[in-house]
Homo-oligomer: A and B are copies of this chain.
């Protein structure tokens, strides 16, 4: 974890923003897999990690704004437990590490909250996403689980988003670490891929590296010969010559910062001419979008520009036609690029998505579009110094979607369905990097990962 000073200063800032009442930050519990005691790997809540840093289950903290102190709730372990789990730091030691002024047994939270209620102190809490924590909030606060989505503190949520959106230098170091591991994962899969292997031969290699570096996956691996399926988590296909492999995965490092990288490469040692043509469009779109990043620019503008550039590329291949301004405004290019250009990233791969996608990525006066394609853009607002964002354009040929649009004669004036049909078994290509926003530009985080056709083919031939 970071130093005590990091956490106390983060809490001090939050304290000032929220200004009165109590702030309740709940840690996560172990989660049962197939029975209570056989659990998934423990993943601490990101807000708890950000403000307390303690990577331990069954903890919670109250930042008492009115009393200006942090109380850490959790339980010391009995000797019986130490026999099974090994010696663990005491609650007092944990409080020292994070700079909390006080510790109390976990069960005291309810009493503390009840006292606050009787003193009319406002209790600020974040929207829960784990049902275990929902049930606890129901018990502690008397708010029914189904009413919780509307009763969390908007003031607290906005304060947390404002703070976590700007990454500090020590956070950037961690994100670069996650990306160093992520590079290893991608390069290893590129080297290992060949016809006859299964997709899960490669996911095993990638996850093994993430775990072997003291972390794990930041999100379920997408690694597929069906790259046109955007969130494909099936890994049972056998790799065949002529196919493309789309790999979208990244490490969560030991400090739980996420990397999120996509690369696409052929099962063969080299790309075909047809694959190269689409690849070059996506690569140019990605590079252009990255070069447009800087503080003050609306991310939505960069997304729309990327859409326009994709449309231009597709027109040059005869897949689109007509007036491209009109086509992009109408969303015709979304047949090939149906998702957003990127999102915030940090402790979460979609950073702070638990707090509300639109609160993180939009603002008052900038509403999220309902148009197919554009509505999937998670991040629309002006970029700020210290934001870290993904840039991840792609071109896909989704047979189900092509057939649906064609049968509806949708955008006949912009889409050359006859030509598109010759690409229906093409799959999809996406290229993605993670970028820090600076005052006058950007920094691509992490070590370079093979990206140009020459670089990728070179890796495939080693």
Contact = CB atoms under 8 A, between A and B. Distances in A.
A38 B350 contact: yes
Interface string A352-366: 111000000000000
Contacts of A137: none
Interface in A125-141: 129-132, 134-135
A338 B83 contact: yes
Interface residues on A, range: 35 or more
Most-contacted residue by chain B among A33, A145, A353 (CB, 10 A): A33
Interface stretch (A103-111, A116-124, A196-204, A304-312): A196-204
A87 B203 CA distance: 21
Contacts of A213: 200, 204
Contacts of A43: 33-34, 40
B31 A31 contact: yes
Contacts of A226: 86
Interface stretch (A294-302, A398-406, A409-417): A398-406
B400 A219 contact: no
Nearest to A44: B34
A48 B236 CA distance: 22
Contacts of A234: 86
Contact of A79 (B83, B231, B254, B404): B404
Contacts of A214: 198, 200, 235-236
A31 B32 CA distance: 9
Contact of A347 (B34, B84, B232): B34
A113 interface: no
A67 interface: no
Contacts of A36: 129, 353-354
Interface of A: 31-41, 43, 45-46, 79, 82-87, 129-132, 134-135, 145, 198, 200-205, 207-214, 219-220, 226, 229-232, 234-236, 254, 338, 347-350, 352-354, 398, 400-401, 404
